[in-house]
Structure 1
Amino acid sequence: MRHGKASRYGRYTGGPDPLAPPIDLTEALEEIADDVMAGYSPERAMREYLRRGSRDMTGLDELSRRVQQRRRDLLKRHSLDGTLDQVRELLDEAVLEERKQLARDITMDDMDRDFREMQLMNLPEATGAAVTELSDYDWQSSTAREKYEQIKDLLGREMLDQRFQGMKQALEGATEEDRAAISEMLNDLNDLLDKHARGEDTQQDFDDFMAKHGHQFPENPQNIDELIDTLAQRAAAAQRMLASMTPEQRAELMELSMQAFGSPELMDQLNRLDANLQSLRPGEDWTGSEQFEGDQGLGLGDGTGVLQDLAELDALSEQLSQSYAGSTLSDVDIDKLSRQLGDDAAVSARTLAELEKALKESDMLRRSSDGDLRLSPQAIRRLGKTLLKDTGYLSDRQGQRDTRNAGAAGELTGSSRAWHFGDTEPWNVTRTITNAITRTASEGGNPGTGLQLEVGDVEIQETEARTQAAVVLLVDTSFSMAAEGRWVPMKRTALALHQLISTRFRGDELELINFGRYASQVQLDELTAMAPAYEQGTNLHHALMLATRFFRRHPTMRPVLLVVTDGEPTAHLTSHGEARFWYPPRPETLELTVTELDRVQRLNAAITFFRLGDDPGLKRFLEAMASRVDGKVVAPSAQDLGAAVVNEFLHVRSPRLPDW
């Protein structure tokens, strides 16, 4: 740029995006609520949602799958003989160069040449033994001697790299002074660990050690415990790498280790370090092993790094499983996940953790006295509004007035909605003008220069009829409802009807009654959380008795009875309060059920039966019952049950409205 520096923008990597929109709980709540209504506890429903994720959010299961796939890839790609292969290659090169030199050297005594040739030809097959046998060999070729020295240098750097990541590269081309500094560091480190094991060390001891050798610890530990943790994790990985080798590989490596830097003291210091770390951190996995299947050879340092990766992946797998007591998604190590799977996986895990926290801290879920999470009243209202909209009652589609009427002309509800052709309710002038101003501004106009109304701007005030109703919804909770996939639609229906009455017909009273072998009055949150139970019996007789009792407590209200069932009555209540079950239904059960229905009818109740399924016996029974009490039978599918119940309630609730 001519007048300033160019700027480049990329993805924010400093943690959660500070400009990201707040977590939207709508989709999460709906899916969690579906699982709750299917019988899950809210706690488990939340866990299942976080596990499977959503269309725009990767879940725990997918992250766990990626972790396991990376683990399998590491094992299938690599082998642990990289260092042995390098040593064998250098040894072969050294022997070849030495034999060339012997062939060229015409000044050498023939007997000496023959002896050397024989010594080189009869080297042991095992790489470690061959290197050891040549430790005292007087090399005639400078190139061969250099190759052999490279073997000792490589072994030293690999041995150190097993315990201190990056040492292999740092010590490449190291001088004797560099090696002496490493030896001094190991001695000082072991002395510090010995002192710590006795409980005699201080922070000053650690600070002095880091001041002297800190440049060799890029992890930059801040205290002795952090230093021990870092070293112990890598040392344990080195031990697991050895255990993962074949016995032959392990034996060769042990023999070669004594040649590291040409000094056995190095291995003594490293063995002392391993012993110190193992005693200080016995909880690390010092004995595990892995089965490598690939052909990409790893050196000792790189192999130890891969074993550390495998340990990290195992830890991540446990964290993502959330299977231990008190687990939360804040337990997931985001840095490790990013290192193993990339930034996208880390973002997904962070999003899941934020969602979990938002769900627990929101008013959607609340902790009960027994410690369980439950849907809060606010969550139930929010879900009920969504379900009511699904029935079509709150739909903005034109031409469907049957599901949008809040009542005939009467008292204002305080709510408004968009005007549709045929509406006669008064305008909400404030909302109408506001809509016009907002639309004009969004289209680029200036509301101050003039305002024109359009049909889409108009909102009307909703009203409700003054007549109050006592509404009873009887829902069948026998096991067949769950077995036939009608359990959740039944609950969704109850939520939608409850939302409609509590927001549009506030003067009405709603009673929810569930009936299986027995019937009982149930609160909405209890019905929502109710799990299917294998219970035989459809006790409509008991349910009608409770409905009659409710209607009599509200004598000034218009009684409305809505019955949802998928089976004939197979149980009734005796005079002693016990339930009797028979299948097929016995005449006694049917007679008592009909008698109780007659009592409801004498209260002038509007009665509608909602038949689920195609059972011929149920069809005949309900049609006979409806004919007897001047009621009605509706046979919706399970998916359309909510809309059928809401529409029928509106039709019965406001009979003066035309049947659109």
Structure 2
Amino acid sequence: MSRYRRYDGGDPLAPPVDLAEALDAIGQDVMAGSSPERAMREFLRRGGQDRTGLDDLARRVAERRREILERHDLDGTMREVRRLLDTAVTAERGQLARDITMDDGDRAFRELRLENLPTSTASAVSELSDYDWQSREAREAYEQIKDLLGRELLDQRFAGMKQALEGATEEDRAAVQEMLSDLNDLLEKHARSDGSPEATAEVDRAFAEFMDKHGDFFPENPQNVDELVDALAQRAAAAQRMLASMTPEQRAELMELSQQAFGSPGLMEQLARMDANLQALRPGEDWSGSETFEGGEGLGLGDGTGALQDLAQLDALADQLSQSYGGARLDDVDLDALARQLGDEAAVDARTLQELERALRDSGYLRRGSDGELRLSPKAMRQLGKSLLRDVADRMSGRSGARETRTSGLAGEPSGATRRWEFGDTEPWDVPRTITNAVLRDGGSPVRLRIDDVEVGETEARTQAAVALLVDTSFSMAMDGRWVPMKRTSLALHQLIRSRFRGDRLQLIGFGRHAEVMEIEQLTALDARWAKGTNLHHALLLANRFFRQHPNAQPVLLVVTDGEPTAHLEPDGEVWFAYPPDPVTIAHTVRELDGSARLGAQVTFFRLGEDPGLARFIDSMARRAGGRMVSPELDDLGVAVVGSYLGSRGPGTSYRDHFADWPGGRGFWA
């Protein structure tokens, strides 16, 4: 037999989660100094452009909690009891006035008794417990009070009992009393169990017998005694929190009224026994908390307990959505509880975030290092580099009509390398590689080609280049907001050379108080350093050494900086620092720059900042080396650096010419 239920998994035609936006945001934060773990958490909190984040779900949880407290109060049962009492007294007074057969003395005594009832509702109900009602309507109203109290007290511990026992007979009430007595016997047997196989089997038998006899009272259908205890303890603890949330006067009246439930104190005694058993079995539940209800819509005992359970569930959801505890994962979020409190759409949003987190962890973009910390994997660096390079290409295309070049090496000749076909490629297919890819994928015949199998042969366009990208890592770069654009630019150029110009060689050199050669992973994860000094001299030393290691390649020197040289390397390897720049430091730097020029390097300085003195100095340095200075806006730094690199590879013309007519390019090329 097939079973069907409502689909609650969101849009079944929705595409898989897109990691590109998440990876780009995580990469940005990592380059700004955040750890990958923290960056991932931050993205999941913020959400994406078209994706709800944890912060929004947490805000809605807080609003739902506030709505419950501001809308309701806990006086609903007392109000209903007061109404029924007033109905009974009014009907009785009318009956006494109409009954002409009654003895005048008896009438006067009854009227006096009704007239002098206590102002307390609970005391008035107790006072009338032995009253001989003359009015049938009054008697029914008073009996409704006892019935209502019994059903409300049961509804506090067993959700839905108030409605289930409406119009119940004496036999029904007796069945409830028997169920409570048997339940307490079961709970006490479970508490006495020592956990041995024999004791556990005995408890299991007792549980099975209890459910066979009283299972209709438990529609949630617990499968074992622990599930039964969990459900009952959560509800009973909420009932205790409701009592604690009442005013002392409300609490005292309710306790007094409870003795009238079903016309005897027996029900209250069994419930008190059950509460004690549950608290002993589940001491970890919140049995003593309280809330402040400020609204005007009265809640009965059962509904009030349900509201306290809702508040507890909302608190748990807020904790889960905060992800602020050790080992937190989005899989911890209770989607069923979220759907109950905020609706199915919220649960779908949370499920999407769960899938995104799993995809980020399982896709290989994040990997855990030997120290246990998450790091961006090489795969993530490539993907992030592609995204940054795509952004650079879009900016170039939108401003100048320049197109990406897909060739490398000497003009027109095959380089011997192949790569995956991409839309727009005009190079010939490499048939052996394409067929091999299809065979390896399917493992047999017939061979079925897919677009992912196709590889094309690369052709060479010019001589190999040795590219040295020198990036300023002094603290002023971080202080003035240039840290992340510098890293983005480095990653974009790294990706371009590794993917499209694989015959070229790239060396990344960071220079602050001293200079060092860096791998791209090291540079993108570099934290800002509070160290004085801009040691361009040391960086040029390393660049020239790199150029000499590749004598057959065209040297390309790209320097990104926001300050004049204030440090140089002494012969003994010590760093000399002086501010304002010392003439000796300038001389060392110029001498090494002349060395780059003698090696034939094509030199471009990228000046960040508006300091006129810096502009004059860097311009003179660039002219001395036969190069140029570029002063891009931060958003255009990547375009400028990549454009300069591509221009250095073009035959016979500088890439500068392509940017000459850029709209909004005021001051772009100095």
Q: Same fold per TM (> 0.5)? A: yes
**Cα shift at 1:630:** 1.5
User: Is residue 590 of structure 2 the alignment partner of residue 594 of structure 1?
Assistant: yes
Report what 1:150 is aligned to. Answer: 144
Residue number in structure 1 paired with 2:665 = none
Q: Deviations over 1:392-411 (max 9, x none)?
A: 28977797346536456233
Letter in 1 for 2:548: R
Secondary structure, counterpart of 1:506 in structure 2:
coil
Q: State the distance in 1 between where 2:526 and 2:518 align.
A: 10
1:582 aligns with 2:581: no
Q: Of the candidates 175, 178, 186, which is equivalent to residue 181 of structure 1?
A: 175
Distance 1:429 1:542 in 2: 46
Name which of structure 1's ranges 394-403 and 222-231 shifts more when overlaid on structure 2. Answer: 394-403
Task: Check the 8 A contact 1:393/1:404 in 2, yes or no.
Answer: no
- Preserved CA contact (<8 Å) 2:515 2:535: yes
Partners in 2 of 1:656 and 1:418 — Cα distance? 28
- Quick check: 1:313 aligned with 2:314? yes
CA 628–398 in structure 1, closer or farther in 2 if over 3 Å, else same: closer
Q: Deviations over 1:57-105 (max 9, x none)?
A: 1110000000000000000000000000000000011011111111111
The residue aligned with 2:411 is 409
Q: Secondary structure at the match of 2:110?
A: helix
**Residue 612 of structure 2: aligned partner:** 616
User: In structure 2, what is the equivalent of residue 503 of structure 1?
Assistant: 499
Superposed CA deviations along residues 280-324 of structure 1, whole A, max 9, x for unmatched, are 000000000001000000000000000000000000000000011
Cα 1:597–1:256, aligned 2, differ >3 Å: closer, same or farther? Answer: same
Contact 1:77 1:295 in 2 (8 A): yes
CA distance in 2: counterparts of 1:412 and 1:145, whole angstroms: 104
CA shift, 1:589, in A, is 2.3
* Alpha-carbon distance between aligned partners in 1 of 2:291 and 2:414, rounded to the nearest angstrom: 74
Range 38-47 or range 318-327, more displaced: 38-47
Cα shift readout 1:468-511 (whole Å, capped 9, x = no counterpart)? 22111011112221222211211111111111211222121111
Alignment of 1:89-238 (within 5 A): 89-199=83-193, 200=199, 201-238=202-239
| Partner SS, residue 295 of structure 2 | coil
Displacement of 1:212? 0.4
Structure 2 unaligned regions, length at least 5: 194-198, 432-454, 659-670
Name the Cα RMSD after superposition. 2.4
Residue type at the aligned position of 1:483: M
2:566 corresponds in structure 1 to 570
Query: CA–CA distance in 1 between the matches of 2:544 and 2:50?
Result: 49
Partner of 1:454: none
Query: Greater CA deviation, 511-520 or 546-555?
Result: 546-555
Is the Cα contact below 8 Å between 1:417 and 1:462 reproduced in 2?
A: no
Partners of 1:128 and 1:525 in 2: CA distance: 74
1:559 corresponds to: 555
For residue 47 of structure 1, the aligned residue among 41, 48, 53 is: 41
CA distance in 2, matches of 1:236, 1:588: 78
Compared with structure 1, are the counterparts of its residues 648 and 52 closer, same or farther at alpha carbon in structure 2 (3 Å cutoff)?
same
- The question of 1:329 aligning with 2:369 is answered no
Retained in 1: the 8 A contact 2:396–2:402? Answer: no
CA distance in 2, matches of 1:86, 1:417: 74
Residue 260 of structure 1: how far off its partner (Å): 0.4
TM-score, L = length of structure 1 = 0.89
CA distance in 2 between counterparts of 1:460 and 1:93 reads 92
Residues 370 and 566 of structure 1, relative CA distance in 2, 3 Å threshold = same
Partner Cα separation in structure 2 for residue 279 and residue 411 of structure 1: 84
What aligned pairs does 1:278-427 form with structure 2 within 5 A after superposition?
278-392=279-393, 400-401=401-402, 403-404=404-405, 406-407=407-408, 409-412=411-414, 414=418
- The corresponding residue for 1:479 is 475
Check whether the contact 1:570–1:586 (CA below 8 A) recurs between aligned residues: yes
For residue 417 of structure 1, report the CA deviation from its aligned partner.
6.7
Q: CA deviation at 1:654?
A: 3.3
Name the SS of the counterpart of 1:391 in structure 2.
Answer: helix
SS in 1 for 2:581: coil
- Corresponding letter in the other structure for 1:62: D
Distance 1:402 1:260, change over 3 A: closer
Q: What is the distance in 1 between the residues matched to 2:87 and 2:60?
A: 43
Please show how residues 64-75 of structure 1 align to structure 2 within 5 Å: 64-75=58-69
Q: 3-state DSSP class of the match of 2:468? A: strand
Higher alpha-carbon deviation: 287-296 or 472-481: 472-481
Partners of 1:32 and 1:267 in 2: how far apart?
58
Other structure's SS at 2:588 match: helix
2: distance between equivalents of 1:88 and 1:217? 31
From 622, 625, 645, the equivalent of 1:626 is 622
Residue in structure 2 matched with residue 453 of structure 1 by the alignment: none
Contact 1:409 1:465 in 2 (8 A): yes
1:183-207 CA distance string (max 9 Å, x none): 0000000000000000044211111
Q: Secondary structure at the match of 2:105?
A: helix
**Mapped partners of 1:417, 1:256: distance in 2:** 80
Distance 1:637 1:316, change over 3 A: same
**Aligned partner of 1:244: which letter?**
S
Structure 1 counterpart of 2:257: 256
Larger deviation, residues 105-114 vs 232-241: 105-114
Q: 1:38/1:31 Cα in 2 relative to 1: closer, same or farther (>3 Å)? A: same
**Matched residues in 1 for 2:413 and 2:653: separation?**
16
Aligned to 2:196: none
1:582 positional shift: 2.9
Structure 1: segments with no counterpart, 5+ residues:
1-9, 420-424, 432-458
3-state secondary structure, aligned to 1:136: coil
C-alpha distance in structure 1 between counterparts of 2:413 and 2:396, whole Å: 22
2:635 is paired with a residue whose SS is: coil
Q: Identify if the C-alpha distance between structure 1 residues 573 and 427 changes in structure 2 by more than 3 Å, giving closer, same or farther.
A: closer
Contact 1:573–1:579 (8 Å) recurs in 2: yes
Q: Write out per-residue CA displacement over residues 235-271 of structure 1, whole angstroms, 9 at most, x where no aligned residue.
A: 0000000000011101100100000001101111000
Aligned to 1:451: none
Change (3 A) 1:249 1:394: closer
Partner of 1:448: none
Task: State how far apart, in whole Å, the 2-side matches of 1:397 and 1:272 are.
Answer: 77
| Alpha-carbon distance between aligned partners in 2 of 1:563 and 1:573, rounded to the nearest angstrom | 18
Counterparts of 1:412 and 1:16, CA distance in 2:
50
Alpha carbons of structure 1 residues 244 and 186: separation in structure 2 relative to 1, 3 Å: same
Which amino acid is the alignment partner of residue 410 of structure 1? Answer: G
CA contact (8 A) 2:189 2:203 kept: no
Instruction: Number of aligned residue pairs: give it.
Output: 620
8 Å Cα contact 1:491-1:528 kept in structure 2:
yes
- The two structures have a TM-score, normalised by structure 2, of 0.88
Q: 1:570 to 1:307 in 2, by over 3 A?
A: same
Equivalent position of 2:459 in the other structure: 463
Q: For 1:402 and 1:345, locate their aligned partners in 2 and report how far apart those are by CA, in whole Å.
A: 44
Moved more, 93-102 or 193-202: 193-202
The change in CA–CA distance for 1:12 and 1:351 in structure 2 (over 3 A counts) is: farther
Contact 2:393 2:403 in 1 (8 A): no
